Structure 1
Amino acid sequence: MKKVWFLGLGLSLALVGCSDSGTDEAKKDETSNATEENTNVAGDLMDFYLNLTTTVNGVDIDLNGYEEAMAGEAPPAGEELEKMKEAAAASATESAKAVEGMEIPEGLGDQKEAVETFKSTLKESYDMKAEALSKEGETDLAAANEKLNEAENQIKEILDQAGLVSSSLISDLNG
């Protein structure tokens, strides 16, 4: 009777040991899959961000030139100012179109909605700049720049959540 009892105890311990190692393997697989997903999301997000900044930098040259000239010690005036303002307005419009045309990667999962919100905010900022630059008289870009700051804060939060080092959107677009 003792032999049967020890045999039963031994088999029970063996089964418990086997089931625990299976659980450990499952946990390792889940952890590996989660890490791989985070890496894919981070990679897709970084690709999106880099493509966005590169694309916008290709079309916002006149806008950046205008803003830089206006911040200088001797801002342009008269006909030169009007030409710069007109070019900057067209540049802002093209930048808004470029942002709108950026495709959001499918693999972003939970962050896809946040990226769509960011994209909308950034586009709105460029639309506001284009509108302000198209008006007669003195141009006030303060509200548009506030909207750009809002977009920067949104992308910083998204990048942080993905485990990426956040960057300055404003510097990346104006640099």
Structure 2
Amino acid sequence: MKKFLLTTIAAGLFLAACGEETPKEETTAPAEETKQEETSNVKADLMKLYMSIPNTINANDADLNAFEGAIGDETADLAALKDPAVASAQATATAVEGIEVPESLVDQKEALETALADLKVIYEDKAAAITADDTAKLEETNVKYEEVDAQFNALLEEQGLIPSSIYNEVSM
């Protein structure tokens, strides 16, 4: 009887120990799934944000693009295009400033805000260059796009996404 009692107690302890391990495994699996979902959300939200940037710019920079496209065209009336181009550049800077970084991108927020701020400065500099009739400075602002593209591409590549160029998407 003592052996049966000891065997029953041992079996009970064994089952209790096994029963405690199962919830640990169950809590680990959802944590891993949550981490995968968070990574997936970061990628998706980063892509949504990145794709919204050229859309925001293109919604505001038509007159600026017309002005820049007319530079060097001897038949173009740059004087008539100047004021709308300045207004367009200023509106674009304001629109870029209004782009908000989603909460899910908390780890990338500082880098994204820096890149967006640099992008805003590009359009402020474009407005100033046009106002000052300084086409050399206007061309310099386009070179600054390389730096902004590099900032965004570093974030995209960090998430395993393909790099791109905002400049190529908005300079038409």
TM-score scaled by length of structure 1 = 0.80
TM-fit CA distance, 1:25: 1.5
Q: Are positions 1:18 and 2:19 aligned together? A: yes
Distance 1:15 1:31, change over 3 A: same
Q: Deviations over 1:99-136 (max 9, x none)?
A: 01222222222111121111101001111111111113
1:1-175 mapped onto 2 (5 Å cutoff)? 10-11=11-12, 13-70=14-71, 75-77=72-74, 80-136=77-133, 138-175=135-172
Q: Deviations over 1:126-166 (max 9, x none)?
A: 11111111113544324312322211111112222334333
State percent identity of aligned pairs. Answer: 33
For the Cα contact (< 8 Å) 1:133–1:139, is it kept in 2? no
Structure 1 unpaired stretches of 5+:
none
Structure 2 unpaired stretches of 5+:
none
Provide the rounded CA distance (Å) in 2 between the counterparts of 1:69 and 1:117.
Answer: 31
The alignment yields a C-alpha RMSD, in angstroms, of 2.6
Provide the rounded CA distance (Å) in 1 between the counterparts of 2:136 and 2:82.
Answer: 9
For the Cα contact (< 8 Å) 1:48–1:104, is it kept in 2? yes
For the Cα contact (< 8 Å) 1:41–1:109, is it kept in 2? no
Could you tell me which amino acid in structure 1 is paired with residue 67 of structure 2? Y
Provide the rounded CA distance (Å) in 1 between the counterparts of 2:90 and 2:170.
Answer: 15
Paired residue total? 171
Provide the rounded CA distance (Å) in 1 between the counterparts of 2:150 and 2:75.
Answer: 36
Could you tell me which amino acid in structure 2 is paired with residue 98 of structure 1? A
